[in-house]
Amino acid sequence: MILGKVIGNVVSTIKLPVYQGYKILIVQPVNDREESQGESVLALDTVQAGVGDTVLVIDEGNSSRLIMNNSTAPVRTMIVGIVDAIK
């Protein structure tokens, strides 16, 4: 899992049916001091995160398929938690 900051969202009408009903957010990976690191990625949202939130992101397909309860979903990156504090 990686830490990231939500910096925006993507609107898409035409997409694969498994993506239907999920919000797509743009996540900027951050380090432990919440400084930006590397390129941004798009992630499916499962926790109703919003812009500015620090979030927990999984970047691994099998975990995402488990969460979606769909063993064949072509989804890898997913937001699975909103971070309250990093100590």
Partner 1 sequence: MKLGKVIGNVVCTQKVESFQDIKLLLLQPLNEKLEEIGDPVVACDTVQAGINDIVFYEGGREAALGLKNWFNPSDLTIMGIVDQVNIGE
- Which residues contribute to the site for partner 1 (CB under 8 A)? 7-16, 19, 24, 26, 28, 39-43, 51-52, 61, 72-77
Nearer to partner 1 (CB atom), residue 3 or residue 79: 79
Count of alpha carbons within 13 angstroms of residue 31, beta-carbon side: 5
Cβ of residue 7: shortest distance to partner 1, in angstroms? 6
Cβ of residue 28: shortest distance to partner 1, in angstroms? 8
Cβ of residue 24: shortest distance to partner 1, in angstroms? 7
Q: And the tokens for 34?
A: 């919440």
CA distance 28 to 18: 24
Nearer to partner 1 (CB atom), residue 28 or residue 83: 28
| Helix (H), strand (E) at residue 28 | strand 23-29
- Look up residue 18 and give its DSSP letter: G
